[in-house]
Amino acid sequence: MKKEKNRNAFSGSLGFVLTAAGSAVGLGNIWRFPYFAAKDGGGLYLAIYLVLALTFGFALLTTEIAIGRKTRQSPLTAYGRLKRGWGFLGILACLVPIIIMPYYCVIGGWVVKYFFAYLTGEGRLAAADGYFSQYITGEVQPIFFMVIFLFVVAFVVFRGVNKGIESSSKVLMPLLLLLVVGIAVFSLTIRHQDEAGAARTGMEGFWIYVVPNLEGMTVKGFFTVLLDAMGQLFFSLSVAMGIMVAYGSYVKDDANLVKSISRIEIFDTLVAFLAGVMIIPAVYTFMGKEGMASSGPSLMFESLPKVFDSMGRVGNLVGCLFFAMVLFAALTSAVSVMEAVVSSFMDKFHISRLKAAFLETVIALSGGILVCFGYNKLHFDVVLPNGAHATILDIMDYISNNCLMPLVAIGTCILIGWIVKPKTVIEEMEKSGCKFGRKKLYEVMIRYIAPVLLVILLLKSLGVLQAI
């Protein structure tokens, strides 16, 4: 198979692991994982998630990274290079980050806004009722902060794989981990007494988080937890977005992929777990169990600011550190999303990184402005197949995450499991002489178990399996 001789490459395994982990550790880990853990029985969800991460997630992550290194191509062209006639899968894989990038930058702009609010000592204002809705429905500020976030991401991507993406990950990821651990430890130590005199502590919230709650659990309920955990893995591991294919194409042939993938799994799962330790004990302490029912933007931009406000003077500092951590996570993830598109444009159209980055910046900026207008000038209410009421952002999120990503993952399983066969990936994994210890598990997952689970997940996302 033809190799790209002058293609950029990560300087070493550490750079690759931190960059890939930075992509995986994003907003999905912070505002989705704790919600599902609180909703789905605490420790039960954690156990199922861990098993899926080491099997289902491992199979998809391994496949995409191996495809990238074997073909030395980005997602748009890698699948066609691997097997003639399968280029359509690359188009779908490239469409996912193209759709995600605009609204991710809008949300990134929200994070920038809140970070500056706490940095300037105005955290109490952010905790007021209506602050978030008033901000996102504005016509100027959301676009302004979205542009700031987008241009920072574009600058990193423009600088290239080594000077931009890898270098920024080596700085941001240790800082992110330090903040996550620090805030998690603080969350466990807090104590609060409400107006009725009831006292709650962070440790009580921690036990709710980690101890399995099987009360009233049914087969249907267990299946719901399984699908929630599986859906979360897409966000957590950045699979089915073309990202890991792009990053895999920058990994050197002598790198130990087996060890690197294991480290990415550990890093991502650890941060996802710590995100729950950060958020669930704090929300429980100040808002009780009912406060743990929120997820997504409402959790991060409405519930948590009220928690920080309840902490008194220290709350502004904690809020500032928290949104700094969220900003780091959002930046590393957005960089990976943009790189998947930029590398695709470079490989497909044979243009420079500067031109490709400029083109994707224009696309993301145009789409981001459209998303911002979806909360004011272009606001409308649409009901999605899953029953949710949607704005432009929600529609883009539904198309990319609920429709295209499962389709890309199913197509990848069919291509590797039945067309080019698992040996294609296994040989790539063992190229450097390392032993692929989970070889048999990989074959079973990619050929049989993963495709079935993915089809079920897709049918549920499309509203076909409403009973689940």
**Two tokens, residue 132:** 């978030």
pLDDT range class, residue 111, cuts 50, 70, 90: very high
In the predicted model, what is the mean pLDDT of residues 161-170?
94
User: Which amino acid is located at 260 in the chain?
Assistant: S
For the chain, the average pLDDT equals: 92
Percent of the chain that is helix, strand, coil (3-state, to 5): 75, 5, 20
Domains assigned to the chain = 13-461 (1.10.4160.10)
Residue 382, H or E segment: strand 382-383
Q: Is the confidence at residue 357, as pLDDT, over 60?
A: yes
pTM (2 d.p.) = 0.94
For 169-289, list the strands marked E by DSSP: 191-193, 199-201
- Residue 199 Cα distances to 135, 191, 256, 307, angstroms: 34, 7, 51, 15
Residue 73, token pair as written in the block = 């191509």
Distance CA 356, CA 351 (A): 7
Q: Does residue 3 have a pLDDT over 60?
A: no
Query: What is the distance between the alpha carbons of residues 227 and 209, in angstroms, rounded to a whole number?
Result: 19
Q: How confident is the model at residue 291 (pLDDT cuts 50, 70, 90)?
A: confident
On whether the CB atoms of residues 295 and 235 are closer than 8 A, the answer is: no
**Measured between alpha carbons, how far is 38 from 288 in angstroms, rounded to an integer?**
12
Find out whether 268 and 24 touch, Cβ atoms under 8 Å.
yes
Confidence of residue 2 (pLDDT cuts 50, 70, 90): very low
Reduced to 3 states (helix: H, G, I; strand: E, B; else coil), residue 251 is coil
pLDDT (tens digit per residue) in 375-434: 999 988 788 776 777 899 999 999 999 899 999 999 999 999 999 999 999 999 999 889
Residue 198 has pLDDT above 60, yes or no: yes
